[in-house]
Structure 1
Amino acid sequence: MASFKCDIVTPAEKLAACEVEMVVVPGVEGEMGFLAGHAPLVSVLADGEIRLTPAEGGPVQRYEVKGGYVQVTDDKVIILADSATPVAA
């Protein structure tokens, strides 16, 4: 499966910068999932869980998010979160 870059950024720090196969975020109207080549998009995030599926395999990375925005371009997803913390596996 094709991969793309994903960054998770809060006002305090950059939590993630990785190559992923899929990103799932909590939108205000429900969950949204993104794969490589997704149409450009900017949307508001709801409180919930972000899930990143790493391109190199391994366990899904999870982050608890409280508000913010997601921006999708043809080769990158940027999550600008009001606050986010990694969820222990």
Structure 2
Amino acid sequence: MKKLFFIFLRMSKSDLRTSWFALRHVDRPRWFLPAIVLLTMYFFAPFNLVLPVVGIVDDFVLAPLILHYLVTLLPAHIRQSAGQVPIR
């Protein structure tokens, strides 16, 4: 389980960084904030505790794919400027 978490973190690190930058950007699309909030609620859904296998598939496969799709829908100038943000 710990290995899966680190794989998930490594694969979605750039998408998480880009989405965090886009949330604070002035020109972000209106739909982006509600989409990220819904994705976060889906990630921490209570049915993950009832069906652990389905929860693992959701958390480590479906949620990163949705996050990556949302980041690709962002305007190009936001994605490009997110790549130039220094890592703190």
The two structures share one fold, judged by TM-score above 0.5: no
Q: Which has the higher strand share?
A: 1
Highest RCO, 1 vs 2 (Cα 8 Å, sep ≥ 6)? 2
Question: What TM-score do the two structures reach when normalised by structure 1?
Answer: 0.24
Q: Which has the higher helix share?
A: 2
